[in-house]
Chains A and B, each alone.
Chain A
Amino acid sequence: MRVSSFGYLTRQGLKNLWRNRMMTLASVSVLTACLLIVGIAMLLTANLNRVVEYVESENEFKAFVVKEDDYLIQQLENGLLVLDESALPEESAAEEPTESVTEEESASEAEESDTAKKDQKDTEKTASETTSQTEEESAGSEPAKEGSTVTVDELALAKEQFDWDGFCANLQSQIQSISNVEDVSFVSKDEGIESMKDQLGDQAELLDDYEGEENPLNDSFTIRVKDLTKLSDTIEQVSGLEGIETVSAANSVAKTLTQIRHIVNVAGWSLVAALAIVSLVIITNTIRASIFSRRKELNIMSYVGATKSFIRFPFVVEGICLGLISAVIAYGLITLGYTAVMNKLLGQQTGWLGSAIQSLIPYSQIALEMGIFFLASSVLIGVIGSTISIRSHIKV
């Protein structure tokens, strides 16, 4: 096709727009509205994703380990832990505790921890010896807990023989092996009370009584997850582990955000699909009207030997132009609207909302993407819409 013909046909297409200006106006308004809705949905989704990403990046939850005493009592009651009662305290300390979970540890690790354990056990032993000796006569045969068959003696012996640290280390490696877990850190109950004291500051001494044996806290794990969307699954997995008492699923904000993001994504795409169909129908109709108003002309064109593409081209131009005009108007409105809203929001940076606003996407960051999307989608819909109309209404 010659450049002059191209120019002529393009002008014909533009003339079509003017000739059917009422139709043009109507369809441009509808298309603009469609693009606006899609644009707003895009901006919402992008911002929501940004916020969710932010929450995700520092997403962690805590899992609390059962109290050592409670665990051991339960194990003894159920006969899962067999005490070597005949052994002398010295010997029993040197022996490996009869707990199956520790077997999973590698040999070198076991060896290393063995020596460490021995030291620890020795100190523990002397401590418990002194206390148990004084208490033996009075409370030796008393149950360690109300309604329990386990005696204080038995519990003390169990504490001596059971490798609690090894148990915790094993739990940690079990949590780490869950696929969605980014990392796990162990916070012992001593560290827990320390951090509480830090938080109390001047009144830290209030907690002095709760240190050591009197510590009411549990040992805990701080767990960071990779994918926030699978948070509830991960929480379930962690709480299912033996030895985990409770899990603090306090991150309901993240959960809600994730749900909202999911809904917005699904709704957004359905909206885009629905509006694409609406736009297609609008363009198809407008082009059809244009074809009907030029029916006579098209008939004459075919008699004087116009080729298919020559006859069709102006209508494709018309379709593209409808799309482009709408895209430009919608883009302008979105730009004005978004910047205005952002300026207004940035003006009132107070409280926690301030930091949320900080994480919103500035328009300059998303402008190019939006522009390209608007142009591409409108041109595409223009071409498809006019082609549909041409195919069904122009017979050459």
Chain B
Amino acid sequence: MIELVDVSLKYDNETTAVDHLNLKVDPGEFVFVVGPSGAGKSSIIKLLLRERIPTSGTVKVNGYDLKRIKKRAIPKFRRTLGVVFQDFRLIPNMTVFDNVAFALRVTDASAKYIKQRVPYILDLMGLQEKAKRYPHELSGGEQQRVALARALVNDPPMIIADEPTGNVDPELSYEIVTLLKKINECGTTVVMVTHEHEIVRYFGGRTISIEQGRIVFDGQIGGHDEG
């Protein structure tokens, strides 16, 4: 669940990245956030991950008030989010298995649970064959699936995907979004930021368009399979 109330974010030199923005995403929703580069999409992601604190307004994610949250509680908050980045952010000298297990180890999970949970998630992502490979041995699409597996392994209530298809071949982009849709069908809230309008038009659903730090459009658009 996301709730932004009258949120503004200004950077040092008085540039307004987010301008009095109001937004609500309910649990179980799938939301596309679109807009040209520099519109403020990345700033919104940073606010949602509590990488930045809003200049004014309140940001609530998964029940945490990110303006008031104590530093010590941030790791606990971040465990309620699965994050996927455009550049995958896999650790190059760790195997696929370790990259995914990494997110579990951070939460102090038992070795036994890790051994059982990681193969299950890799299986779900169709990566069971690649468990012992290193990231550089995989294609962009496969790497992003590993990143997705890592985001999912903690079973978080929400996935935030920042341009997940940006570094992936176009035909594989659809595969990634399909996976996100499947995850959403299991009840996980998904927020996907993208500038690829084709994908949005293809899949459809709730779409929020941002320009100059403001929401210029928020509504349903029909996808090919719904229309």
Q: Which of A304-359 contact B (CB under 8 A)?
A: 304-308, 310
As a 0/1 sequence over residues 1 to 18 of chain A, the CB contacts with chain B under 8 angstroms (1 = contact) are 110110010000000000
Known interface pairs A5-B105, A296-B89. Does A303 touch B110 (Cβ–Cβ under 8 Å)?
no
B51: min CB distance to chain A, Å? 9
Count of inter-chain pairs, beta carbons less than 8 A: 54
- Docked Cα-Cα span, A302 to B71, in Å, equals 12
B226: min CB distance to chain A, Å? 33
- Across the interface, A305 reaches (CB within 8 A) one of B78, B89, B93, B110, namely B78
Instruction: Tally A residues with Cβ within 8 Å of B.
Output: 20
Closest to A19 in B: B93
Complex contacts, A296 vs chain B, CB 8 Å: 89, 91
> Do B106 and A297 touch (CB < 8 A)?
no
Asked if A299 is an interface residue, CB under 8 A from chain B, the answer is: yes
Known interface pairs A4-B111, A306-B75. Does A301 touch B89 (Cβ–Cβ under 8 Å)?
no
Complex contacts, A305 vs chain B, CB 8 Å: 75-79, 81, 103, 106-107, 154
- Docked Cα-Cα span, A88 to B77, in Å, equals 115
A-side interface residues toward B, CB under 8 Å? 1-2, 4-5, 8, 19, 296-297, 299-308, 310, 396
Known interface pairs A304-B154, A305-B75, A305-B79. Does A5 touch B91 (Cβ–Cβ under 8 Å)?
no
> Do A303 and B108 touch (CB < 8 A)?
no
Asked if B64 is an interface residue, CB under 8 A from chain A, the answer is: no
- Docked Cα-Cα span, A297 to B76, in Å, equals 18
> Do A304 and B91 touch (CB < 8 A)?
no
Complex contacts, A297 vs chain B, CB 8 Å: 91
Asked if B49 is an interface residue, CB under 8 A from chain A, the answer is: yes
Closest to A7 in B: B111
Known interface pairs A300-B91, A303-B83, A305-B76. Does A2 touch B110 (Cβ–Cβ under 8 Å)?
yes
> Do A1 and B108 touch (CB < 8 A)?
yes
Closest to B150 in A: A304
Q: What 3 A-B pairs have minimum CB-CB distances, sorted nearest first? A: A305-B79, A305-B78, A306-B106
> Do A310 and B91 touch (CB < 8 A)?
no
Q: Which of B102-119 contact A (CB under 8 A)?
A: 102-103, 105-108, 110-111
Question: What are 8 contact pairs spanning A and B, CB under 8 A?
Answer: A1-B108, A300-B91, A303-B49, A303-B78, A303-B89, A304-B106, A305-B78, A310-B108
- Docked Cα-Cα span, A5 to B102, in Å, equals 11
Complex contacts, A310 vs chain B, CB 8 Å: 75, 106, 108
> Do B78 and A304 touch (CB < 8 A)?
yes
| Contact count band on B | 20 to 34
If over half of A's interface residues share one DSSP class (helix, strand or loop), that class is named, otherwise mixed; here it is: helix
- Docked Cα-Cα span, A303 to B102, in Å, equals 11
Complex contacts, B106 vs chain A, CB 8 Å: 301, 304-307, 310
Closest to A5 in B: B108
A306: min CB distance to chain B, Å? 4
A245: min CB distance to chain B, Å? 80
- Docked Cα-Cα span, A1 to B105, in Å, equals 11
- Docked Cα-Cα span, A255 to B77, in Å, equals 70
- Across the interface, A8 reaches (CB within 8 A) one of B78, B91, B105, namely B105
Closest to B87 in A: A296
- Across the interface, A307 reaches (CB within 8 A) one of B49, B75, B93, B150, namely B75
In this complex, the member of B71, B72, B103, B106 whose beta carbon has the largest number of chain A beta carbons within 10 angstroms is: B106
> Do A304 and B108 touch (CB < 8 A)?
no
- Docked Cα-Cα span, A301 to B101, in Å, equals 12
Q: Which of B137-168 contact A (CB under 8 A)?
A: 150, 154
B124: min CB distance to chain A, Å? 18
Given A296-B89, A303-B89, A305-B77, 16 more pairs with CB closer than 8 A: A2-B108, A5-B105, A8-B105, A299-B89, A300-B89, A300-B102, A301-B106, A303-B78, A304-B78, A304-B79, A304-B103, A304-B154, A305-B76, A305-B79, A305-B81, A308-B75
- Docked Cα-Cα span, A2 to B106, in Å, equals 11
Complex contacts, B72 vs chain A, CB 8 Å: 308
Closest to A6 in B: B108
B61: min CB distance to chain A, Å? 13
Closest to B85 in A: A303
Complex contacts, B93 vs chain A, CB 8 Å: 19
In this complex, the member of A304, A307, A308 whose beta carbon has the largest number of chain B beta carbons within 10 angstroms is: A304
A332: min CB distance to chain B, Å? 32
In this complex, the member of B75, B76, B78, B79 whose beta carbon has the largest number of chain A beta carbons within 10 angstroms is: B75
B19: min CB distance to chain A, Å? 26
Known interface pairs A300-B91, A305-B76. Does A4 touch B110 (Cβ–Cβ under 8 Å)?
yes
- Docked Cα-Cα span, A310 to B110, in Å, equals 15
